[in-house]
Chain A
């Protein structure tokens, strides 16, 4: 079972801010929260990673509350090219090596 739960799909309009929330109730102390973007027939692309509070980079912000049981990816002013599937992942430590268990992801559709 995936360790994360996200909405299956979302629609937005160009220029709007999009917030995608992910639940990870069983997150472990050592787990980081990582978000990826995937276009059709491409490998996932790293967007942002955080451990707690807020992280911001040139493409997105990540908000993590104190209990770390959820996180929100914020995409400012989306464009049509942001239409993709977004995955929220936390590492699953297994015999000393983290691995990802992918959930359904959130299919974001940006409309003109």
Chain B
């Protein structure tokens, strides 16, 4: 149990276009989902926290108008990178939490975004 999927696994796009990444909890309902970004050889950096049916909470320095997060159901959250630029190229990882009391997060496999 506790499987999280992401789609697509990798995407290449042109500068200025928007890209949507989906995160799904396959066998549990996720009260909270998280989005991270990871640059090569670096640690994961939390971008935002989202609870189903409410607005996402963004970390300091993350532009909420550029990284749109929608958490429409207990099993699906989406991250849209709007007007992507080469500096947005990164590895994007989502995670889902089903148990608030123990805070365990289960991570998706990640999405490699390359902006040309």
Contacts and interface: CB of A to CB of B under 8 A. Distances in A.
Q: In this complex, which of A91, A99, A105 has the most chain B Cβ atoms within 10 angstroms of its Cβ?
A: A99
B102 A46 contact: no
Contacts, number: 66
Given A99-B46, A99-B49, A45 B34 contact: no
Interface residues of B, number: 28
A36 B108 CA distance: 13
Contacts of A99: 34, 46, 49
Q: Contact residue range for chain A? A: 20 to 34
A34 B107 contact: no
If over half of B's interface residues share one DSSP class (helix, strand or loop), that class is named, otherwise mixed; here it is: strand
A45 B103 contact: no
Contact of A32 (B4, B43, B45, B102): B102
Interface string A33-75: 0101000011111100100000000000000000000000000
A46 B2 CA distance: 10
B47 to A, nearest CB: 11
Interface string B19-47: 00000000000001010100000011110
Interface of B: 2, 4, 6, 32, 34, 36, 43-46, 49, 51, 57, 91, 93, 95, 97, 100, 102-110, 112
Interface of A: 31-32, 34, 36, 41-46, 49, 87, 91, 93-105
